[in-house]
Amino acid sequence: MKIILLGAPGAGKGTQATKIAEKYGLIHISTGDIFRANIKGGTEIGKLAKSYIDAGKLVPDSVTCEIVKDRLSKQDVIGGYLLDGFPRSLYQAEELSKFADVDLCLNLEVDPALIMDRICGRRVCACGESYHVSTLNGSTTCAKCGGELYQRDDDNPETVKARLGTYNVMTAPLIAYYSAQNKLATVVCGTKTPDEVFEDVCKVLDSFQK
């Protein structure tokens, strides 16, 4: 399966992507993770990306599309992949269609009223796990690998507002775009736990696979 995971910031894309990739044996490709790795490594791409990420804006298409194109040219994606955070605009979707043929766009629909708390309370681990402070009971380490938890630089109220604006203007039109291609499936997250959302996600993916 070749899947796109779509959703506003705070919809739980990263959490669901990890679970989906594990269960269905897909390669998880997160453009946000790729940019953060570049920032950590001090690369030229990282230096460029940081200013956009900190401002809640999209990293320029020329850089982003090239990264994804290059990643999808690798042998390991032949068995299927999950794109988490790409495409994020109609332009990127058009570019993607030139070098990949995705089967499904899975849209995670989140209640806008919950987004700010979800993101600003998020603590993440370098291993990919993510938590909400309200469930940590004061712990600062990852229950999965023991790594130190931290808050992403862009998980602050000001940047989240900008990221939401960017999502509404640039990314939300992709819902209609993939719907028109009969490739859209929407899972409503509501107040469900990540495991409950994952059950719904699996129903969609299992029926799609048949």
Q: Which residues bind ligand AMP (CB under 6 A)?
A: 9, 31-32, 35, 52-53, 56-59, 64, 85-86, 88, 92, 163
Q: Does residue 118 have an active-site annotation?
A: no
- Distances 91 to 8, 21, 75, 110, 189 between C-alpha atoms, Å: 18, 26, 26, 24, 27
Per-residue tokens: 202:
């699996």
Q: Does residue 152 have an active-site annotation?
A: yes
Q: How far is the CB of 163 from ligand AMP (least distance, A)?
A: 5
Q: Catalytic: which of 71, 152, 183, 192?
A: 152
Q: Pick the closer one to ligand AMP by CB: 36 or 139.
A: 36
Q: Does residue 163 have an active-site annotation?
A: yes
Q: Pick the closer one to ligand AMP by CB: 64 or 107.
A: 64
Q: Pick the closer one to ligand AMP by CB: 65 or 207.
A: 65
Are 16 and 201 in contact, with CB atoms under 8 Å apart? yes
Residue with CB nearest ligand AMP?
32
Q: Catalytic: which of 13, 19, 36, 118?
A: 13
Q: How far is the CB of 138 from ligand AMP (least distance, A)?
A: 26
Q: Catalytic: which of 19, 36, 118, 122?
A: 122
Gap between the Cα atoms of 135 and 15, Å rounded: 15
Sign of CA dihedral 143, 81, 12, 49: positive
Q: Does residue 36 have an active-site annotation?
A: no
Gap between the Cα atoms of 94 and 143, Å rounded: 40
Q: How far is the CB of 171 from ligand AMP (least distance, A)?
A: 9
Q: Of 52, 27, 28, whose CA–CA distance to 38 is shortest?
A: 52
E-strand stretches of the chain: 2-7, 27-30, 81-84, 104-109, 122-124, 130-132, 184-188
The β-bridge partners of 185 are: 106
Hunting for tokens 């909400």 — which residue is that?
132
Q: How far is the CB of 49 from ligand AMP (least distance, A)?
A: 7
Q: Catalytic: which of 36, 118, 123, 163?
A: 163
Residues with catalytic function: 13, 88, 122, 152, 163
